[in-house]
Amino acid sequence: MSETVRTSPEVDSFVAAVRARFTDLDAAEREELLGGLEADTSDLVAERGPEALADPDAYAAELRAAAGLADFAPPRRAMPTLGLGVILDDLHALWDRTLDGLPGSPRGFVESFQPSWWVLRGFVAWMVVQDVRGGNQVFVTAPWLVVLGLLVVASVQLGRAGWGLSVLKSAAAGRLAVAGLNVFALTMLPGAVDRLNWMVAESRGADLYGYEWYESPADTTRSNVITYQGREVCTLRVVDRDGDRVTGLRVLDATAERLLPMDNPDC
């Protein structure tokens, strides 16, 4: 018949502290060394009071040394790590809650705009490729239009998770890469729109004034060119008041020291 050992809070605390320094042993070894610790400690406290208890660390170290065990090294507690996927999920949930908290159901509007953004993202990528190529001109030739089509299709497929790109929507690294791509496209969008506007202005200016309408005289490399309202003058003709051509005349510039070319062979 087993005998019940009456303990006290001091005994329970001491025994628990000592046992915690033997957790590197299996249950049988630990019981062999500490099986009678609770009863012995209870008797000691009953005879001499709680102040008779030793320091649990010192007591456990002596007991381990007597048993030929190495010093106890508590297992290093691993720092809790928060996965990248969890962080992205939390940010996405925060974004959804923010949109849902705004009036007018903006979340539905943003989601319906996604296909348009996919196309716009492909266009921005096309403009970036044009910038990488160098020069200020935007090329709208057939090969460049093919590149534009490919980039738009790739952007749409990325948004739809097609072509086996669904891993980018599930893997944390892929989701982070797509988010970075979207942020980059947003930052490049104003420059792409500005460059497109400049291309349209150049085209309209060329139709109205000539291809060098935006250049100052200092930018003109050909000295034998006469311009009027930004356009090159190919031929000078002197006529009388009836409109008949007067031959044998020459035209001087404002200094009256320089003859102007009557014909520009480069036109």
pTM score: 0.43
What is the rounded CA–CA span in Å between residue 125 and residue 184? 10
Q: Which letter does DSSP use for residue 100 in this model? A: H
Which residue has better confidence, 6 or 133?
Answer: 133
Task: Using CA atoms of 128, 132, 137, 142 in order, give the dihedral in degrees to the nearest 10.
Answer: -80
Q: Which residue has the tokens 């060119």?
A: 225
Which tens digits make up the pLDDT trace of 8-26? 788 888 888 888 888 888 8
Per the model's pLDDT, the better-predicted residue between 255 and 29 turns out to be 29
Mean pLDDT of 97-119: 79
Q: Which residue has the higher pLDDT, 114 or 137?
A: 114
Close Cβ partners of 35 (under 8 Å, ≥ 6 residues apart): none
> Distances from the Cα of 158 to the Cαs of 85, 92, 181, 183, in angstroms?
19, 18, 11, 15
* Average confidence score pLDDT of the chain: 77
pLDDT at 111 over 90: no
Q: What are phi and psi of 166, to 5 degrees?
A: -65, -20
How far is residue 93 from each of residues 88, 105, 166, 176, 218, measured CA to CA in Å? Answer: 8, 16, 20, 15, 58
Return the pLDDT at 21. 87
Q: Report the distance separating Cα 5 and Cα 40, nearest Å.
A: 10
Percent helix, strand and coil across the chain, each rounded to 5?
Answer: 60, 5, 35
Mean pLDDT of 233-242: 80
pLDDT digits 0-9 by tens, 151-203 = 999 988 888 877 766 666 667 777 777 888 888 888 888 888 888 887 777 77
Percentage above 70 pLDDT, the chain: 76
